[in-house]
Structure 1
Amino acid sequence: MTDVYLLSGFLGSGKTSLLVNLIQHIREQGLKPAVLMNEFGAISIDSDTVGDSKDVPLKELLNGCICCTGSEKTEAQLQGLLEEYEVDVILIETTGAAHPVEALDAVYSPLFADRLDVKGIVTVADAKRWIERHTMSPQIRALFMEQIKHAHLLVLNKTDLLTESQLATVSMELANFNENAPIIQTSNAQVSFAYIEETLQKLQHLPTKPIISGKNLPLSSKLIVLEKPVQKEHFEQWVKALPDTVYRMKGYVPVEGASHPFLFQYAYGMVNWLPEYVKMDPSLVVIGEGIKDLEYVYPSSKQS
């Protein structure tokens, strides 16, 4: 039997950070991990980060939600991992737009029911976003709450951004909202695989049927191709001026004076630039609501 852990959580909560940490811990235990990643856009960004982990088999689902249009693809990719590699643990990271119970349901396939031992849903909850959840649109807030409600283990992440009083309040509210899920407080999603493994072994009941559908959520993704290098300061000003309905941006941004594009990530008002040492296509995936007409406008020559 191959153990399966499903990593859930809203956009930008820290799922990929958790995934990378767990891969390292699993390998330190002498086990062989594999990864199935669900990307919302048409290009892969997070999986490039995971790809830095050598010898870890990786399958991807692009341009669709694992729990909606991607069920058949999910089966095919899992089948591929099982047939092509010798693995002990499969980590499935869903897109931030996935309802966790539906995603879990997509994993239960008669094709390999006797080969997978689904351990449960580990949901990464953004501590600061929980405090400000009332600023979300009703549909998105409902998804955010459902992801937390159906977790078997809650990773309360980004606790370093809260005061002690705020952290105590958030922890208490989450414990009342999901009475069955143990909570671990983290920064940068640092939690050991051994803890997750032992905690989920104590839990007996897993949901097996989807409760609500994520198909009609107003979330969408858009690919922006950057045709020339940007001025870093101007680009960050553009990002800061975006509406709150832009939840996540991930991509490779060419910057004036740099030989290679930077890996750029944005989540919940915070930006992160990481240098790249190989040539990457300059494109940016934006995830949010009402982003159809969103474009980056270069400054005029006078502004330059």
Structure 2
Amino acid sequence: MIDVYLLSGFLGSGKTSLLVQLIDQVNKQGRQPAVLMNEFGELNIDSQIVEEKEEVPLKELLNGCICCTGAESTEAQLQSLLTDYPNVDVLFIETTGAAHPVESLDAVYSPLFADQLDVKGIITVVDAMRWLDRDKLSQRMLALFLEQVRHAHFMLLNKADLLTADQLASVTMQVTQFNSFAPLVQTTNAKIDFSYIEKMVDAASAPKHAISTGSGLPLASKVLSFEKPINQEHFEDWVRSLPDTVYRMKGYIQLEGSRYSHLFQYAYGMVNWIPEYMQIPSKLVLIGEQLSSIEYPPEK
């Protein structure tokens, strides 16, 4: 199992500064880090910084956000990384500053390699100056900024040195009230001890399951496996009965009467079936909140 940390945060918050430091610390622990980086343009300037770190496997997603360039691109890059570098211990995924955390996790949670990844959580870098001026953002960008904070499992309140003592106290209180679950640390230049992040995230997590962020976190995942072909009508009835706290589902499912598997996707109440032309183990990944009691078939 590879420990996976998704680095989230608004544009210019300090994610790359954090990433470079975490790489160094993991190396010093004698473990092998790897990086998946994402940027909108054709040239990822941030990745050039990481490339200076020798012996650090790096894959890139360019020309779009990890959550909208297509799951196929993300899966292909991750599968390539896992195949080419079998000794990786820790994977850091740095999203673009315009990535929604739920959709970013959706891109990472592929049923194809669900048993290889242990997603520890979302580390969000909160720009303290940006928080002060958040009302200057457009409504759409403000909503994204707040969503990145709301779904964090651990938060760095970065650029703390640029605020007065009163401002820092006020921002700290507001951010912790907005996300009362995630531990928060005030930082300058995103400097923090990775072992502390590991300890705090593990302390907040329930007993681990494959590719699970743990019960009780603001955003969690769960994998369901199916030993027998599934009745499509009964399955879709079950999907419609699920609570609104299930945000995303995707997986490969063998349907009754079908020779090959189907790719199943669910988002915002809508389902989509895509026929495959091969037999793939039937697994379904759920992303959302309060998932511990969800099973298929549902208990009577």
Scaled by the length of structure 1, what TM-score is found?
Answer: 0.68
Match of 2:30 in 1: 30
Q: Which amino acid aligns with 1:109?
A: S
Superposed CA offset, 1:159-186 (max 9, x none): 0100111000000001100010100110
Structure 1 distance, partners of 2:61, 2:88, is 19
State the aligned residue count.
Answer: 213
Match of 1:163 in 2: 164
- After TM superposition, list the pairs within 5 Å mapping 1:86-165 onto structure 2: 86-165=87-166
Percent sequence identity is 62
Q: Which amino acid aligns with 2:134?
A: R
Structure 2 distance, partners of 1:71, 1:165, is 44
**Matched residue SS, 1:197:** helix
Which has the higher relative contact order, 1 or 2, with Cα contacts under 8 A spaced 6 or more apart?
A: 1
Structure 2 distance, partners of 1:149, 1:66, is 19
Superposed CA offset, 1:228-250 (max 9, x none): xxxxxxxxxxxxxxxxxxxxxxx
Match of 1:16 in 2: 16
Q: Which amino acid aligns with 1:177?
A: F
Match of 1:71 in 2: 71
**Matched residue SS, 2:111:** coil
Structure 2 distance, partners of 1:39, 1:70, is 14
Q: Post-superposition shift, 1:158?
A: 0.4
Superposed CA offset, 1:73-113 (max 9, x none): 11111111111012000000000010011101211111110
Q: Post-superposition shift, 1:210?
A: 4.1
| Contact 1:40–1:62 (Cα < 8 Å) also in 2 | yes
Structure 2: 5+ residue runs without aligned partners?
Answer: 206-214, 222-245, 249-266, 269-300
Structure 2 distance, partners of 1:196, 1:120, is 10
Match of 1:255 in 2: none
| Contact 1:61–1:70 (Cα < 8 Å) also in 2 | no
- After TM superposition, list the pairs within 5 Å mapping 1:121-270 onto structure 2: 121-204=122-205, 205=215, 206-208=219-221, 210=247
Structure 1 distance, partners of 2:247, 2:60, is 22
Match of 2:211 in 1: none
**Matched residue SS, 1:202:** helix
Structure 2 distance, partners of 1:102, 1:203, is 22
Q: Which amino acid aligns with 2:174?
A: E
Scaled by the length of structure 2, what TM-score is found?
Answer: 0.69
Q: Post-superposition shift, 1:68?
A: 1.5
Structure 1 distance, partners of 2:31, 2:70, is 28
Structure 2 distance, partners of 1:109, 1:121, is 17
| Contact 1:105–1:210 (Cα < 8 Å) also in 2 | no
Q: Post-superposition shift, 1:64?
A: 1.2
Structure 2 distance, partners of 1:127, 1:88, is 32
Structure 1 distance, partners of 2:116, 2:69, is 24
Structure 1 distance, partners of 2:52, 2:164, is 34
Q: Which amino acid aligns with 1:183?
A: L
RMSD of aligned Cα (Å): 1.4
Structure 1 distance, partners of 2:155, 2:56, is 25
Structure 1 distance, partners of 2:155, 2:17, is 15
Match of 1:53 in 2: 53
**Matched residue SS, 2:220:** coil
Q: Post-superposition shift, 1:139?
A: 0.5
**Matched residue SS, 2:204:** coil
Structure 2 distance, partners of 1:115, 1:124, is 26
**Matched residue SS, 1:27:** helix
Q: Post-superposition shift, 1:192?
A: 1.2
Q: Which amino acid aligns with 1:5?
A: Y
**Matched residue SS, 2:88:** coil
Q: Post-superposition shift, 1:203?
A: 2.1
Structure 2 distance, partners of 1:130, 1:207, is 25
